[in-house]
Every structure is written in structure tokens, then in C-alpha cells.
Structure 1
Amino acid sequence: MDEKAVIIEARLRIEEAREEGFNEGFEDGFNEGIEQGVRQVIVGLLENGFSDEDIVNILKRSHEEVQLIRKSVIGLD
């Protein structure tokens, strides 16, 4: 393989790696954003007097998750 072909191959590999990294980062960021949004919704429901059982049924989340969020928010325990 000549030098020009090696450079082209290297650039293609770099671009593929960059694209793969972007996609992984995007997915991680998207999932993090969803989880933060769900947490905010749970906090809002707790602040408005919804029971843990109601939240579990509405959002299809675990009792443990709702209890952890409840404990992490001052004044809602």
C-alpha cells in the first residue's frame, strides 16, 4: 500500500471512530436526560401529594427508585 492509500485509510478509520464515539456519547447523554426528567416528574408528583404507589403505577418505576428520590428531597420524607 502506498503512502497516499495509507493516509486515506487512516482518515477513514478516524472518521469511523469519531462517528462511533459521537453515537455512544449521544445515546449516553440522551439516557441521562431521560432519567433526570423522570426524577423531576417524580419530585413534582411527590410535592403534589401523590403516594408512592400512585407514582409507581403511573410511571412504571420501582418502589425502591421512588423511595430513594423521596429520601433525597429535603422535606418530603
Structure 2
Amino acid sequence: MPIVIKAQKGDNVRDLMRRFKKATSTTDIVTMVKDRRYNIKQAQQRNVVNSQKRRLKKKVRSLKKMKNVPPRVIEYLTERLSQ
């Protein structure tokens, strides 16, 4: 799916570059390209995912102990864990 950024009247190159960068960051194209630059073994990829989950679980545990954290933050993090 191509990303098309059209110039509007009065736009300069910096505005177009900013809009293009924002569009690519929202679709995670840049991160996918960087991830695919090098071949990663399946076991190593699983280890990375598991370590991220462990780190997120630890963060959720510490946030639950805090009293001034809104519950929606904890809900959001637990949803990310279930994915």
C-alpha cells in the first residue's frame, strides 16, 4: 500500500517531509524494514518477544503497587500482554 503525500498550496518541503514521516511512523513501515534488514533466527526472535513480555509483566506489577496510577493504564498494558 503506497503512501501518498500531496502538496497543498503554500506548503514547503519541510512540511511535506514532516507529514511523510508522520504517515510512515503511524503505519510502522520503517520499523518493519529495519527489522527485516538482518535475518534473525526463530529462537532468537522468540527470546526477544519473551523478554519483552517479562519486562511488561514486571512493569504492570510495579504499577499495580502504586496508588496514583489510573486503571486504564493498567488495562492497556494487560491487553498488550495478551496479544
Q: Give the TM-score range, shorter chain.
A: 0.3 to 0.5
> Structure 2-normalised TM-score?
0.40
> Structure 1-normalised TM-score?
0.43
Structure with bigger helix share is 1
